[in-house]
Every structure is written in structure tokens, then in C-alpha cells.
Amino acid sequence: MAKLHVTTTINGEPTEFLCEPHHTMLDVLRDTLDLTGSKEGCGSGDCGACSITLDDRLVCSCLMLAAEAEGHEIKTIEGMADGDKLHPLQQKFLEMAALQCGICTPGVLVAADALLKKNPNPSETEVRYWLAGNLCRCTGYDKIVRAVLETAAEMRGAAE
Amino acid sequence: MSDMTNKWIGTSTVRPDGVDKVVGRAQYAADATMPGMIWGKVLRSPHPHAVIRSIDTSKAEALPGVKSVVTAKDIVDFSVGTPVPLGIQDMRWMCRNVMAREKALFHGHPVAAVAAMSADIAAKACELIEVDYEVLPWAIEIEDAIAPDAPILHDFIKFEGKPSNIAGTLEHKLGDIEAGFEQADVIVERSFDTRPVHQGYIEPHACLVSVAADGKTTIWSSSQGQFMVRAMTAFLTGIPQSDIRAIPAEIGGGFGGKTIIYLEPVAAMLSKKAGRPVKMVMTREEVMRATGPTSGAKSTVKIGAKKDGTIVSAQATHYLQAGAFPGSPIRGACGCCFAPYDIPNVYTLGYDVVSNRSKVAAYRAPGSPIGAFAVESTMDELAEQLGIDPLELRLKNAAKQGTKAAHGPVYPVMGYAETVKAALAHDHYKAPLGKFQGRGVASGYWFNAGGESSAQVNITEDGNVVVTTGHPDIGGSRASIANITAELLGIDYRRVSVLIGDTATIGYSNLTGGSRVLFASAMVVTQSTEKVIETLKGLAAKIWGIPADAVTWSDGAARPAGDNAGKFEPLTLEELAAKANMTGGPIGAGTQLNTTGAEGGFATHICDVEVDVDLGIVRVIRYTSFQDVGKAVHPAYVEGQMQGGAVQGIGWALNEEYIYNKDGKVDNPGFLDYRMPVCSDVPMLDNVIIEVPNPLHPQGVRGVGEVPLVPPLAAIRNAVYNALGIRFNSLPMSPPRVLEKLDAMKQAAE
Ligand code: FES
Ligand code: FES
């Protein structure tokens, strides 16, 4: 079967790739484009380790066909920092030890960033329900939730 | 040691490997690639128990794009009659677990593997392999496996002279329990069962293996021990250990489940036959069907006490599922279950039971949560019958320095009673509870571990430090090592880089497991750093022309001492490093030790739950852990261990279980139906770190990671009793089971 040719934007870069029709966006990110920051924990939309945004909407890249990227704008964990300047969420996760093994971390950060863009002042409950699709087996979530809340507070402070 | 003058030890510094992990650059095993790399896939048994009559791989081999096929014939065969121990594993079982030999013993058991130009082709080729099975009756649960007419997994396993699925027993004995029970005013005896649960690491097993034409082999894999990977792969492939370089990729969680291998020897043989590097990555379904979990168990506990609460006798019997091959953690269940208490008469007996499920792997304090669930639940009932507060009952019977434990040791300085006292004094224990809310407590113990460890500390030419150790870092151990090295040298922690070496670049180091890593690596890093400081002092002495013992080291510099104090300007680490070539050469030191002196760790947990009586949902609404860690070198990561363990315990207690269908297959091999706690299921988790320093360790460390999973099962169960008046003696307390019990209670009341 002929491969599909896809033209898209990834982390601001115009990007083209070839893929099989059944390949997921996660397959292409990891195996074709060498963007291995997005992780595969389940391949079934249950763990959130593969979280990316598609036109600013949070999606599981394991559930998205790569061909669906055509003409859209994709952002991954690799596009979160501004050069060598970490995003405030990344910085806070480091300072507050909100990661242990780190395998869930890219997905959690992408999801948390999407939350703060929609809702700069989330309650603890809102953070917990928003991140309910991101499994973390190491941390018990406590430090993740605290880091997101504290980043939100700091970003609001900086915006004032 | 744990004085207030520490600058870095006891502070929550930013971990050396942190930035790579938040920007997506950290290399886990599945992220590795190599030129010419091809993809491996495993064909797995569709039956829970079957003789493999024959395997025909010819059609798969003929498929374009297929480069090699492997079956059990390609894996070294260790005959079942002679034990081949490696650590706590036995290569007789490992060689059959990585590739089924005479029989397939569980649904998902590997029977063949293919490497091909793409994962799609490899998967297609697996479907073309023809296996002729003779399907046998199977046994999944303990009661089925120990029934008189049970299907026998291994004819060569005998119990009481007959073929059996009981593969072994273990007992611990202290005093005379019968005489003890005679002195008791109150005796409580109860039976319990727990379900097998998966470690649940988010990263599936993965590896990339390259075997060159001359046999030189490189392995990138996610494991809890690169030396374990090297040794087991060598055993199972016949490649000498010296030809294998096992590189520890970053590891996406293990919790014990990555202390054994599944893919590496298979990938090695595929690579050897194909002449190309082979990458293998499990799917989540494969992880759930064929790796881990920890044992399910059936336990009976009997405890007798005097009216005043003094426990006089205690007995426990634990049957643990081993899965398809012997080796369940009966030692943890039997050794730990009464360890928090000073009881004169104790008897514990464990049975190791094989059945047609995947071979168990370690899971945090292996066996101990199972034993603690039974004992700590019985303790709760005993407290009620005696009319004594459950924490007071524990405090009254708390083991202390000098207590002889049934599993052997006489305890040294330790902090169990401190955890109970801290819990008693905490506001959480006094906070009011509402309707359908309840509070439970429980304690737990883990042996902790030392063992082999190696470290190299090198000073760079610009006066900074590179530390290499040999234990994979799962939860932030590199940060703790940076803290210790910086403290000893008196420099900023950011000047210390900490790396995990591969098997060719650092000396042998045992697995990351058993709460060993910081205990062991801190010892070898401390000794190496002290040697470096001696060297630095010697260099300064040479430059100043004074004896080496007239030099001290503080705040990152050599200083003249005694009669010479103040006579010379201090020489900093940078200055000494810059002069190293003229004064004696490279500065560095290594240490290799078999570390000993890891003393046990204890914790006590308080849990509040609220039960939704309409939906049967138990929600944990407040949780506080109290743990003696010896010394918290990096408090945030100590808390992380405590919090993570508590939430794994919440999952075990409330939801996690394998559902087997009537064909002996796991029906819920994914995260949707195997329900681990998600962020919205749990509250914030409070921690009280207690530090009773271990006198046998330079920083006072005991070990942290295992104990947090020990108390939660019983703490939650006891809280549910407090809320509803219903005692759950089997887990999980999932919504259907809670509703069933509530209905039964309602009917009984009507
Ligand atoms: S890998 Fe996409 S949700 Fe788990
Ligand atoms: S840090 Fe390991 S899964 Fe989240």
C-alpha cells in the first residue's frame, strides 16, 4: 500500500512525513520524526503519557491517526520550553520534585499546560479531574497537583 | 551525621537528571535506536496450560522482511533437576519463563519470537507460526491449585512425597505458641485473602540489543539492574558476561517488576541470528498478561492477648501465588507480618503455590503488604475486643531495641514506637469524622537491604566532580548522591554530576530494589569521596611542604592546621585540580563493597475514608504516613516514596484485580479495566518523616521505598470498618463488593 504524505506543523516547524494509513500520530512522532518525548504507556488512550495538543486541543496521540495531522498544528513536550528557558511548569516540577521516574512527566506537563491556558486559576479539584487521564504510578499525584497549583498562582502573579 | 550544620544533606535539591525529564529528552529504553535496527515481536500462548507438541516457523521465516525467528531451542536449557540460583531467581525457571519449553503455563507465555524490518511485519509473521498444542486442564486460584485433584503444573515438584503445586514452604518460630495461647484472655483468629496486583509501571518493558558477528553484545534496556540484565542474558544465551555491555536506560518505573528480564535474551538471540540490532517493546496488554504481578494470597492469623493488651502469642499461615514457576515472596509475608511487635511466642508458615498465571515478580516490600493486611486487620479486631485504642495496643506491644524478632534478628536502634507515638500525637488522629466516614490505622515493616555496590568519584580538571554509581535511579537517588558528595566536599551541589554507569564502566552493583540503593551507594560514595579528600589534602601538603596530617579539609578547600594554621592561604578544590598534573596526576577514587548494616524500617499510617453507600465507592479523604527513614538525605524524594506507596496501596485495597474468564485468560489486560488510582481518586497525602539514624550508616540512612506500601491495605480496611461496621477480609473493596456487603447488612437488619 502506498504511504500517505502529510503536511503539518509541529512545534512551530513546517513538517512533512510519510506514514501508513493505520499509523498513529504517536508512532510517527516517535519512530519517524525522532520526537521521543511523547511516551507510549498503553496505546489505548488510558494513561495520557502520549499527550500532545492538536490546534491547542489536548489529545492522546496514540488515539489519533497520523494522517489526521494534515493541515493542523501539533505541539509536543519538545516544544514546551522556549529554547533553554524552561516553561514555568517545567521549572516548578523540578523544584517541587513532582516527578520520580519521569515517564508520565511529558504527558502531565502537556496536559497541565493545556489546563492553565483554559483556566489560569484552577481549584485543586479542577486540577485533579483535568489530570485524571494522566496516570502516574510513582508520585501519588500530591506533588504534581501542588506544582500545577503553584505554577498557576505564579503565572497569574506575573501576568498582573 | 544528622546535625543542623548540613548544607545539602536534608535539603530538596533539583535532581541532576531533572531537566532532561521535563523537556522530553531523557532516554528510556523504547527511545533508543541504532542504524540497521529491526523490530522484534513475541508470539504468546493462547492457552493457560498446554503441552507444546511442535512449532513450525517455516511460513513465518518465508515472509518477506522477516530476518530471524527464535523459539525455546535457541535459549539455554537448564534442566529442572539442578537449581541454578542467581540472586533470588533460578535460571531453571527464567529460561522457561522467557520462552515456553515443554509446556505453555499461562495465557501470554512466550512460545516464539520474530524479528523483521518493521513491527507490522513481525506481528504478521507471528501469526504464521504454527504451534501444535495439547490443551491441559488449568488452575488459576490458590484453592484450585492446592485441591487434591488439581492439574499439576510441574511433575517434578513434590510436596509430602506427591506431585503438587506447593513448591515450597518457609517457617519462622519463636517460643511456644500453644503455651502462649493458654495465657491469653482474648484470642482473635481470622482468615483473609488478597488478589494479585500489578506493579503498574507506566513504561512497558523495552530493550534494544545488538549482537555483533564476534559476539560482542550491547543491551539498552529499562531495568532495575544492568548487572542483573547482563548476568541473566548471559545465562540464557550462553554469551559470556564479559562480552555483554548492559546500558541502563532511564527507567519508567519498576517497583520490583523490573528486577527480572523478559525480552533481553530473546532480542539477543534474534539479533545474533539476524546480524542486526533488534528492538522490542511490549504492549500494555503484554505487560498485563505476561509480567509481574505480585502474589495473591490466602492467610489465617491468630493473635492472643492478656486483658491489659499484652500480646502473648501469634500465629500466621500464608499461601502465596507464585504464578507459573516457584518463587513467591513468602519470606516477606512470614518475616515481616509480626515484625513490629515484641511477642514471646510466634509461629509463621508460608506456602509457595504455583498456578497457571504469569510468574510473579517483586512488588515493593514483596510479601510484606500481604502479611500486614492479615495481621494488622486482626490487630484492629483485637483492639476492639480488648477495648483498647488500636494505636495504644500497638505501642504497648511495640518492638524496640533488643527485641528478638521471629525471623531472626535482635533489633538494634530502631524507630517503630516513634511512628506510633507520632501518629497518636498528630491532629489527624483526633479530627472529627462525619457520616459514613471512618478512620483506620495500621503499621508495617520491611527488612531493607544492603549488598554489592560500587562508586567512582572523579575530580575534573576544572575542579568539579563526577560521581558514577551502578544502581539505576528510579526515584531520585542521583539527587541524594549529589547532596552527600557536595556535603562531604563542602561545595555547591550543582558542581556534582551523578551518572549511572553501564556494566563496562562501573563495578558490580546489585539491583535497585529492597530499599537498598541509597543505603548502599551512599556508603561507597562516602568512602570514595573521603579518599579523594585525603588525596587533595596530600596535594596541598606537598605544595605547602608540610605533613599531610597537618592539613584539614572544609568548605571546599584544604587548610593548614595545627602549628601551621593561618600560615598558608587555603587551596580550593579548583586550585588543587588545576595543579593536579604537576603534583601527582588525576584525582579520583573508587570503592566496591558488599554493604551490610541496613536496618529494618517501620511505618504507621492513618487513613480516613468516606463511603458512598449508594454507589459502593470508598474514597480516601485524608491520609497521613509516619515512617522512620533513618535519615532523609533528600526529603522531597523521601516524601515522594511515601506518597507513591500509599497510593499504590489505595489501588490494591480498593480496586486493582485481575479478572480471569472461564477460559483461564485475563479479561482486563489494560488500564481502562485494571483500575489504578487516578489523580481525582486521591487526596493530598501528608507525611511525617521520623529520623532515628541508623548507627551503622555514615549518613544514618535506613531505606525508604518499600515500607510505604505495607500498612495501607489494612489501614484502609480498618477505616471502612470504622465507617460502616463491615469487616472486609478480602480485597479489593471495590464498588460491587461494597454494595453486596451493604445489601447483606440491610437484609440482615430487616
Ligand atoms: S499511550 Fe496514549 S494514552 Fe496511553
Ligand atoms: S513519575 Fe513515574 S509514572 Fe509518574
Tell which of A52, A91, A138 to mutate to test the B interface (max B CBs under 10 Å): A138
Asked if residue B78 and residue B52 are part of one domain, the reply reads yes
Q: Which residues of A touch B31 (CB under 8 A)?
A: 30, 36
CA distance A134 to chain B (A): 7
Q: Do A127 and B679 touch (CB under 8 A)?
A: yes
**pLDDT score, position A1:** 60
Write the DSSP assignment of B430-468 as a string of letters. Answer: H----TTEEEEEEEEEE----EEEEEEEEE-TTS-EEEE
CA distance A83 to chain B (A): 10
Contact B468, B505 (CB under 8 A): yes
Could you list the beta-strand ranges (E) of B561-638. 571-572, 588-595, 601-612, 617-628
Asked if residue B312 and residue B268 are part of one domain, the reply reads no
- Which three cell numbers mark B643? 506518597
Looking up cell 488522629 gives: B429
Residue contacts between A and B (CB atoms, under 8 Å): 181
Hey, is B672 helix, strand or coil? coil
Task: Phi first, then psi: give them for residue B64, nearest 5 degrees.
Answer: -55, 135
DSSP B295: P
The CATH number linked to B489 is: 3.30.365.10
Strand partners, A17: A6
Q: Does the N-terminal peptide bond of residue B326 adopt cis geometry, omega within 30 degrees of 0?
A: no
CA distance B11 to chain A (A): 11
Q: Which residues of A touch B19 (CB under 8 A)?
A: 86, 90, 94
Residue of chain B whose alpha carbon sits nearest to that of A51: B24
Hey, is A14 helix, strand or coil? strand
Q: Which ligand is nearest to the CA of A106?
A: 2
Beta-sheet pairing, B297-305 with B186-194: antiparallel
Nearest alpha-carbon partner for B606 in B394, B401, B396 = B394
Query: Identity (one letter) of the amino acid at A89?
Result: L
The minimum-distance atom of ligand 1 relative to the CA of A61 is 2
Radius of gyration of chain A (CA): 16
Hey, is A49 helix, strand or coil? coil
Asked if residue B457 and residue B422 are part of one domain, the reply reads no
Mutate to test the pocket of ligand 1, among A25, A47, A110 (most ligand atoms within 8 A of CB): A47
Q: Does the N-terminal peptide bond of residue B293 adopt cis geometry, omega within 30 degrees of 0?
A: yes
The minimum-distance atom of ligand 1 relative to the CA of A42 is 4
Residues with CB under 6 A from ligand 2: A 99-104, 136-139; B 202, 253
**Cα distance between residue B550 and residue B541, in whole Å:** 7
**Cα distance between residue B374 and residue B384, in whole Å:** 16
Q: Is the pLDDT of residue B3 over 60?
A: no
Task: Phi first, then psi: give them for residue B442, nearest 5 degrees.
Answer: -165, 160
Mutate to test the pocket of ligand 1, among A25, A30, A58, A60 (most ligand atoms within 8 A of CB): A60
In a domain, B467, yes or no: yes
In a domain, B188, yes or no: no
* Buried b / exposed e along A109-129 (16+ C-beta atoms within 10 A): bbbbbbbbeeeeebeeebbbe
Mutate to test the pocket of ligand 2, among A137, A142, A143 (most ligand atoms within 8 A of CB): A137
**pLDDT score, position B1:** 40
Cα B467 to the center of its chain, rounded Å: 24
Cα B328 to the center of its chain, rounded Å: 14
Q: How far is the CA of A60 from the centre of ligand 2 (A)?
A: 17
Tell which of A77, A85, A100, A128 to mutate to test the B interface (max B CBs under 10 Å): A100
In a domain, B177, yes or no: no
- Which three cell numbers mark A71? 493541515
Q: Which ligand is nearest to the CA of A52?
A: 1
- Percent of chain A scoring above 70 in pLDDT: 99
Residue of chain A whose alpha carbon sits nearest to that of B705: A138
Write the DSSP assignment of B367-432 as a string of letters. Answer: THHHHHHHHHHHHHHHHHHHT--HHHHHHHTB--TTPBPTTSPBP-S--HHHHHHHHHHSHHHH--
Average pLDDT of span B272-288: 98
Q: Is the pLDDT of residue B200 over 90?
A: yes
Nearest alpha-carbon partner for B317 in B180, B166, B161, B443 = B166
Q: How far is the CA of B195 from the centre of ligand 2 (A)?
A: 24
Residues B234, B235, B236, B238, CA torsion sign: positive
Tell which of A11, A31, A103 to mutate to test the B interface (max B CBs under 10 Å): A103
Going by C-beta distance under 8 Å and a sequence separation of 6 or more, which residues neighbour residue B54? B131, B132
Packed helices B635-654 and A142-159: angle between N→C axes, nearest 10 degrees? 120
Over residues B502-516, the pLDDT tens digits come to 999 999 999 998 889
Hey, is B113 helix, strand or coil? strand
**Cα distance between residue B514 and residue B448, in whole Å:** 6
Q: Is the pLDDT of residue A158 over 90?
A: no
Over residues B361-379, the pLDDT tens digits come to 999 999 999 999 999 999 9
- Which three cell numbers mark B552? 584539614
Going by C-beta distance under 8 Å and a sequence separation of 6 or more, which residues neighbour residue B83? B90, B92
Residue of chain A whose alpha carbon sits nearest to that of B19: A94
Over residues A35-57, the pLDDT tens digits come to 999 999 999 999 999 999 999 99
Q: Do B648 and A137 touch (CB under 8 A)?
A: yes
Local confidence band at B225 (pLDDT 50, 70, 90 cut-offs): very high
**pLDDT score, position B4:** 59
Asked if residue B523 and residue B389 are part of one domain, the reply reads no
Going by C-beta distance under 8 Å and a sequence separation of 6 or more, which residues neighbour residue B494? none
Q: Which ligand is nearest to the CA of A104?
A: 2
Over residues B626-660, the pLDDT tens digits come to 999 999 999 999 999 999 999 999 999 999 999 99
Asked if residue B735 and residue B654 are part of one domain, the reply reads yes
Nearest alpha-carbon partner for B318 in B370, B377, B378 = B370
In a domain, B406, yes or no: yes
Helix, strand, coil shares of chain B as percentages rounded to 5?
A: 30, 25, 40
Hey, is B9 helix, strand or coil? coil
In a domain, B625, yes or no: yes
Over residues B728-747, the pLDDT tens digits come to 999 999 999 999 999 999 99
**Cα distance between residue B525 and residue B573, in whole Å:** 18
Q: Which residues of A touch B14 (CB under 8 A)?
A: 94-95
**Cα distance between residue B300 and residue B317, in whole Å:** 5
Nearest alpha-carbon partner for A98 in A148, A40, A39 = A148
Q: Is the pLDDT of residue B602 over 60?
A: yes
Nearest CB partner across the interface for A97, out of B474, B476, B671: B476
Number of compact structural domains in chain B: 3
Contact B297, B323 (CB under 8 A): no
Which ipTM score applies to this complex? 0.98
Asked if residue B225 and residue B98 are part of one domain, the reply reads yes
Instruction: Report the CATH number of the A4-79 domain.
Output: 3.10.20.30
Local confidence band at A2 (pLDDT 50, 70, 90 cut-offs): confident
Nearest CB partner across the interface for A109, out of B22, B201, B646: B22
**pLDDT score, position B2:** 42
In a domain, B383, yes or no: yes
Asked if residue B247 and residue B358 are part of one domain, the reply reads no
Task: Phi first, then psi: give them for residue B635, nearest 5 degrees.
Answer: -55, -35
The minimum-distance atom of ligand 1 relative to the CA of A45 is 3
Residue of chain A whose alpha carbon sits nearest to that of B687: A142
Over residues B5-37, the pLDDT tens digits come to 899 999 999 999 999 999 999 999 999 999 999
Cα B626 to the center of its chain, rounded Å: 20
- Which three cell numbers mark B251? 527507567
In a domain, B143, yes or no: no
Average pLDDT of span B324-342: 98
Nearest alpha-carbon partner for B396 in B488, B307, B322, B333 = B307
Architecture in CATH for domain A88-159: Orthogonal Bundle (1.10)
The minimum-distance atom of ligand 2 relative to the CA of B202 is 3
Nearest alpha-carbon partner for B350 in B303, B301, B291 = B301
Query: Identity (one letter) of the amino acid at B127?
Result: E
Residue of chain B whose alpha carbon sits nearest to that of A40: B203
Per this entry, what is the length of chain A? 160
Tell which of B19, B124, B198, B202 to mutate to test the A interface (max A CBs under 10 Å): B202
Nearest CB partner across the interface for B680, out of A80, A128, A143: A128
- Which three cell numbers mark B550? 597537618
**Cα distance between residue B580 and residue B387, in whole Å:** 71
Per this entry, what is the length of chain B? 750
The CATH number linked to B254 is: 3.90.1170.50
Asked if residue B514 and residue B630 are part of one domain, the reply reads no
Query: Identity (one letter) of the amino acid at B557?
Result: A
Over residues A55-94, the pLDDT tens digits come to 999 999 999 999 999 999 999 999 999 999 999 999 999 9
User: Could you say which of B254, B281, B308 is where a domain stops?
Assistant: B281
DSSP A85: B
Domain ranges within chain A, ordered by starting residue: 4-79, 88-159
**Cα distance between residue B232 and residue B226, in whole Å:** 10
Asked if residue B253 and residue B110 are part of one domain, the reply reads yes
Q: Which ligand is nearest to the CA of A63?
A: 1
- Which three cell numbers mark B653? 485495597
Task: Phi first, then psi: give them for residue B713, nearest 5 degrees.
Answer: -60, -50
CA distance B99 to chain A (A): 24
User: Could you say which of B540, B560, B593 is where a domain stops?
Assistant: B593
Nearest alpha-carbon partner for B43 in B234, B340, B228, B280 = B280
Q: Which residues of A touch B33 (CB under 8 A)?
A: 34
The minimum-distance atom of ligand 2 relative to the CA of A108 is 4
Q: Do A101 and B23 touch (CB under 8 A)?
A: no
Contact B434, B418 (CB under 8 A): no
Q: CB atoms < 10 A from the CB of A140, how many?
A: 31
Q: How far is the CA of B645 from the centre of ligand 2 (A)?
A: 12
Contact B72, B109 (CB under 8 A): no
Average pLDDT of span A100-128: 98
Q: Kind and range of the H or E element at B126?
A: helix B119-128
DSSP B257: T
Asked if residue B345 and residue B275 are part of one domain, the reply reads no
**Cα distance between residue B194 and residue B332, in whole Å:** 15
Secondary structure of B203-224 in HEC code, one letter for each residue: CCCEEEEEECCCCCEEEEECCC
pTM exceeds 0.90 for this model: yes
Over residues B580-597, the pLDDT tens digits come to 988 888 999 999 999 999
Domain that includes residue B124, residue range: 29-136+205-281
Hey, is B310 helix, strand or coil? coil
Q: Which residues of A touch B120 (CB under 8 A)?
A: 20
Asked if residue B438 and residue B390 are part of one domain, the reply reads yes
Asked if residue B443 and residue B315 are part of one domain, the reply reads yes
Could you list the beta-strand ranges (E) of B285-368. 297-305, 311-323, 346-354
Q: How far is the CA of B325 from the centre of ligand 2 (A)?
A: 30
Task: Phi first, then psi: give them for residue B559, nearest 5 degrees.
Answer: -135, 140
**Cα distance between residue B509 and residue B228, in whole Å:** 9
Q: CB atoms < 10 A from the CB of B175, how many?
A: 17
Nearest CB partner across the interface for A106, out of B24, B120, B676: B24
Q: How far is the CA of B15 from the centre of ligand 2 (A)?
A: 15
The minimum-distance atom of ligand 2 relative to the CA of B201 is 3
Average pLDDT of span B389-406: 97
Packed helices B735-749 and B712-724: angle between N→C axes, nearest 10 degrees? 30
Strand partners, B456: B468, B590
In a domain, B195, yes or no: no
User: Could you say which of B530, B563, B593 is where a domain stops?
Assistant: B593
